[in-house]
Structure 1
Amino acid sequence: MNMHKVAAALLLSASICLPSWASDDAEANSALIQKAFDDWRAGQGGIFQLLADDAVWVVAGNSPVSGTYRTREAFMEDAVKPITDKLATPIVPTVRQIVAQGPHVVAFWDGQATAKDGSRYENSYSWHMQLENGRITQVTAFLDTWRLVELMN
């Protein structure tokens, strides 16, 4: 068998073995997350509206809000609210990159806001999300927790 036929057979067999979600779900999930960030940036909703009621959100690191939240309500009340209570303006996101593979989407973004004391709050985030049926079910959020601690104090 010549090398071209062997290569073609290998490529065909590899593409048959790809999971069904490998391209379609990834593209749809990436677009959904991008739109949520765009809406958030425009002040017309945002990413938290995509959270499932039973979403598990992990804030990595050491900060006053680091930990695991097992419901959307707990996350919004115990993590988001204490942060927004320190801010005079909403956090405005700027997406650097979104990478998706099936139900998994990673958003790398920067956020800027003004704190109630007049200082600038700036942070960079990497949110590793899992989606099911257009809803975010799991997140692990990485950020500069030192900067967050400064804001919270």
Structure 2
Amino acid sequence: MSVDAGFVRKMFAGLEQGDGAGFFAHVADDVDWTVMGTHPLAGHYTSKADFIAGTFAKLGKVLPNGAQLHVDDLIVTGDVAIVELHSEATAKNGFRFDNHYCWICHFKNGVIVRVRAYLDSVMVARLFTENPIELRERS
């Protein structure tokens, strides 16, 4: 079953309006999400809970108003959406976190089941260098 651009735009509107729960309702619990790069958010996440804990929760500790994501463009073909986004966020220390992203989202029955996400790794590393947090759970 393919998805259309209107459906994808509506889904991402939740993120644009700060409604992460609305967006994540369209993400499979066992999503396969890879954040490319070598920075504190990079990694291969095999569940929605792990992805949120490994990325959005960490960002929430250093970006008081969240990542403030906005869709710039999207291309939808069949069950794949390529979504270009940018953030307009300010970190606790005043650092402007105006990052750019490309998420390649694979859908199955209207739900995201796999994502490969690209972003500015250097900017993410600088964000956490200037706004340190405990990045790993304690054993």
Same fold flag (TM > 0.5) = yes
Answer 1 or 2: higher relative contact order, Cα 8 Å, separation at least 6. Answer: 2
Count of aligned positions: 128
Match of residue 55 from structure 2: 79
Per-residue deviation, 1:32: 2.3
Structure richer in helix, relative to its length: 1
Q: Is the 8 A contact 1:110 1:124 kept in 2?
A: yes
Letter in 1 for 2:114: Q
Query: Within 1, Cα distance between the matches of 2:39 and 2:86?
Result: 18
The answer to whether residue 3 in structure 2 is matched with residue 31 in structure 1 is no
Aligned partner of 2:17 among 42, 59, 66: 42
Letter in 1 for 2:43: G
| 1:67 matched to 2:43 | yes
Q: 84-93 or 121-130, which moves further after superposition?
A: 84-93
Aligned mate of 1:89, from 65, 73, 89: 65
Query: Which residue number corresponds to residue 126 of structure 2?
Result: 150
**Shift of residue 51 of structure 1?**
1.2
Amino acid at match of 2:89: A
Deviation (angstroms), 1:131: 0.7
Equivalent in the alignment of 1:126: 102
Contact 1:37–1:93 (Cα < 8 Å) also in 2: no
1:85 is paired with a residue whose SS is: helix
Structure 1 length as normaliser, TM-score? Answer: 0.77
- 2:78 is matched with which residue: 81, 102, 106? 102
What TM-score, normalized by structure 2, do the two folds share?
0.84
Residue-by-residue CA offset, 1:61-110 (whole Å, 9 max, x unaligned): 11112110001111111222112211111222221111011110000111
What's the % identity of the aligned pairs? 28
Aligned residue for 2:132? none
For residues 85 and 129 of structure 1, the distance between their equivalents in structure 2, rounded to whole angstroms, comes to 26
Question: Structure 1: which 5+ residue stretches go unaligned?
Answer: 1-20
> Equivalent residue for 2:93?
117
Q: CA RMSD in A?
A: 1.5
| SS across alignment from 2:11 | helix
The letter for the 1-side match of 2:54 is D
